[in-house]
Amino acid sequence: MQQFQHTSFALDKHITPEQIEFFNQNGFLHFKNFVDKKTISEFIHEVENVQEHLLQNNITKVNGIPLKFGTDVDGKTLIQRLAFASHYSKKLQQFLKDPRLQLLLQLLGNYDARIGENEKDGLVVNHYVNVEGSKYSRLGWHTDSPRDIFLGSRILPMLNVGLHLDDCAFDNGGLRLLAGTHTQGLFRLLFRKKYFINHEPEKNERGFDIEAGDLTIHDGRLWHRVQQSPNIGEKSRRRVMYIPIITGAYRPKHGLSKTPFYHKLAQLQHLPSLAKRLAFPSLVKRVALSNT
C-alpha cells in the first residue's frame, strides 16, 4: 500500500478548479487543518457528553439506527458507532452549518445536494480502539452505496465527509481506499469484494497521514476500508465524525423510524454471502433497470 504524497489541500472561501478536478479523477479529497485543536477538544467533549447521556438512559437505537457498543481501554462501555450525534448537541448542530461544508455540495455537480443531518444515519461518530472487548477496531472493504438499494432506491450520488478528532499517522492504520473506483460499473460496485468481511490490503490501495482537525471527503461509490492499528490501547484510538452529503428525495428519520434492513443484516455473521445469495440478485436487476 502507498501513502498519498502532496495531495492535501486547504479549504477557504471556495472550492478551486484544481480540487474539483482531483476529486472527479480520484473520488476523494483531503483538507488539512479544517478546524483548530481547541475546536477538536470541544467536539470530543461534546461527543463524550452525548455518549454519557445515551448510556445513562439505556438508549440502544437513535431514530431506528442501532448504536454499536464495545469496551474502552479502561474496561468501561464505549459507543463505537453513534448515529445522529448532532440531535443531542447544539455545538455539533452548529458545526453542520459551517459555510465551508456547504461548499462541498459543489462536488456533486448539478444534483440537489444537502447535508443529511436528519436523514440516513445523520452525523455519525465512529470510535475505533484496539483493545480486548472492542467491537470496532477495523472495518472491511465496502462502499456506501448498497444502503440505497436496500431502501428500494437506485444508487444516488453522495459524499461521506469525515472530520478527524485524533491524529492518525499512516503507519497507525486508518482510512484506506482505492482511488478512482467511484466510476466503476454497477456489478463491480456490488461484487468487487465481499462487503465488510474482506480486510486484505491491495497493492494499489492508498492511505493518509491524518492530523486531528483534518477533513476527508470520499464519494459514496468509492471502495474503502479502515486498517486496524498495530498499537494496543490508547495509541490505537481513532475518532471520526462523518457528515453525509446526500441527494434525492428528502426522507427524514424520527423516533418511530424502523431499523433499515441493512442494519439488521449487519448483525449477522455471514452478511456478505447472505446478501449476495438472497438479496442482491433481484435488487441488482431492479437497480440496473432504474439506472438506465
Domain boundaries of the chain, sorted by first residue: 35-248+257-290
Q: Which residues of 36-68 are buried (b: 16+ CB within 10 A; e: fewer)?
A: eeeebeebbebbeebbeebbeeeeeebbbbbbb
Residue 27 pLDDT level (bands cut at 50, 70, 90) = very high
Of residues 284 and 214, the one with the higher pLDDT is 214
Which helix (H) or strand (E) segment holds residue 39: the answer is helix 37-56
Mean pLDDT for 126-147 is 88
Q: What is the pLDDT of residues 75-98, one digit of tens each?
A: 999 999 999 999 999 999 999 999
How many residues in total does the chain contain? 292
Q: Minimum mean pLDDT among 33-42, 129-138, 271-280: which range?
A: 271-280
pLDDT score of 22 more than 50: yes
CA angle 185, 283, 160 (to 5 degrees): 55
Residue 244 CB neighbours (<10 A): 21
Q: Is the model's pLDDT at 171 over the cut of 80?
A: yes
pLDDT in tens, 201-245: 998 999 999 999 999 999 999 999 999 999 999 999 999 999 999
- Residue 40 is predicted with a pLDDT of 98
User: What pLDDT shows up at residue 6?
Assistant: 56
CATH number of 35-248+257-290: 2.60.120.620
Region of residue 44 (left: phi > 0; alpha: psi -120 to 50; beta: else): alpha
Angle CA 200–148–221, to nearest 5: 45
Q: Which helix (H) or strand (E) covers residue 150, if one does?
A: helix 146-150
Tell me what pLDDT residue 150 has. 65
One-letter amino acid at 5 equals Q
How far apart are alpha carbons 149 and 218 in whole angstroms?
19
Other Cβ atoms less than 10 A from the Cβ of 82: the count is: 26
Q: What CA–CA distance (Å, rounded) separates 174 from 1?
A: 12
pLDDT at 29: 96
Q: How far apart are CA 152 and CA 240, in angstroms?
A: 29
For residue 234, what is the enclosing H or E element?
Answer: strand 233-246
